[in-house]
């Protein structure tokens, strides 16, 4: 009898990039703003292209996106024009588009287009640390500052022990991530991919990231991102 050859799981990058970044108040969607002379999204894409561990990179954009073709390196990335109204919808649609190209046990690394500070070293650190974990994991930073909570009552200090700030990539197996997002009935409760996994009663592994992997949300964040990229 011929022994069965099992294919090792592969690693795929999925970048949702269908948002408009309203808080940036820019003339173009946030992911196309130039940082260090290059569109933010291109920095993000180049990080995955620089990693030998990533089998292929997919970018999810809106159907009428007129910027993406000028940003991509030829032939290296697949564009999925199935972006939705929310990040979660874009990821759901992107995962559906990967059916037939990705196996259930393959890993999908979902990464924010607005985190241009990612590099091959952080990708390798995440993949190595998660290993064969049955759930998956994500980059995150432990909270080091004193945390205050202020709602309608008095200000109070929150114990920071055990608190982490979630980053991306967030890495889960294709089948599990699809099931988790399909089961999420309230999009408001799913602030990232890991929260959908957690809603299934599972616990993702936290892997310490780096401040350079910040999310560019406000205009002031651009200069911070440029400083980290210039120091690379």
Give the pLDDT confidence of 30-68 residue by residue, as tens digits.
Answer: 999 999 999 999 999 999 999 999 999 999 999 999 999
* pLDDT over threshold 70, residue 110: yes
Under the banding of pLDDT at 50, 70 and 90, the label for residue 187 is confident
**Residue 19, pLDDT score:** 79
Average pLDDT of the chain, as a whole number: 93
**Residue 157, pLDDT score:** 97
* pLDDT over threshold 80, residue 161: yes
**Residue 74, pLDDT score:** 85
* Domains present along the chain, CATH in parentheses: 11-230 (3.90.550.10)
Tokens standing for residue 203: 């616990």
Q: Which secondary structure element, helix H or strand E, spans residue 106, and what is its range? A: none
Single out the residue of 169, 173, 193 nearest to residue 183, CA to CA.
193
Average pLDDT over residues 6-10: 82
Q: Are 222 and 33 in contact (CB under 8 A)?
A: yes
* Residue 15 backbone phi and psi in degrees, to 5: -115, 105
Under the banding of pLDDT at 50, 70 and 90, the label for residue 22 is low
User: For 165-177, how does the pLDDT look when each residue is reduced to its tens digit (9 = 90+)?
Assistant: 999 999 999 999 9
Cα–Cα distance measured from residue 133 to residue 127, given in angstroms and rounded to the nearest whole number:
10
pTM score above 0.85: yes
* pLDDT over threshold 90, residue 133: yes
Average pLDDT over residues 90-106: 97
Average pLDDT over residues 183-210: 92
Please classify residue 159 by burial: count the beta carbons closer than 10 Å to its beta carbon, then call 0-12 exposed, 13-18 middle and 19+ buried.
exposed
**Residue 188, pLDDT score:** 75
CA angle 133, 136, 140 (to 5 degrees): 120
Tokens standing for residue 103: 């196996």
Under the banding of pLDDT at 50, 70 and 90, the label for residue 186 is confident
């Amino acid at each position: 009898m011929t022994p069965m050859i099992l294919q090792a799981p592969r690693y795929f990058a999925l970048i949702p990039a269908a948002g408009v970044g309203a808080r940036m108040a820019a003339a173009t969607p946030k992911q196309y703003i130039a940082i260090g002379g290059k569109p933010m999204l291109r920095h993000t894409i180049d990080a995955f292209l620089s990693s030998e561990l990533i089998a292929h990179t997919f970018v999810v954009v809106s159907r009428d996106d007129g910027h993406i073709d000028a940003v991509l390196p030829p032939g290296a990335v697949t564009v999925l024009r199935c972006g939705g109204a929310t990040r979660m919808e874009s990821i759901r649609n992107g995962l559906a588009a990967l059916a037939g190209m990705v196996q259930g046990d393959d890993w999908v690394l979902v990464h924010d287009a607005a985190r241009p500070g990612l590099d091959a070293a952080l990708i390798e650190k995440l993949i190595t640390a998660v290993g064969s974990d049955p759930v998956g994991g994500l980059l995150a930073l432990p909270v080091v500052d004193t945390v205050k909570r202020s709602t309608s009552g008095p200000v109070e200090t929150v114990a920071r022990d055990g608190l982490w700030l979630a980053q991306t990539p967030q890495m889960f197996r294709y089948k599990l991530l699809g099931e988790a997002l399909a089961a999420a009935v309230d999009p408001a409760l799913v602030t990232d991919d890991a929260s959908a996994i957690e809603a299934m009663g599972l616990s993702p592994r936290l892997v310490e990231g780096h401040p350079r992997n910040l999310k560019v949300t406000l205009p002031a964040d651009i200069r911070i991102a440029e400083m980290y990229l210039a120091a690379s």
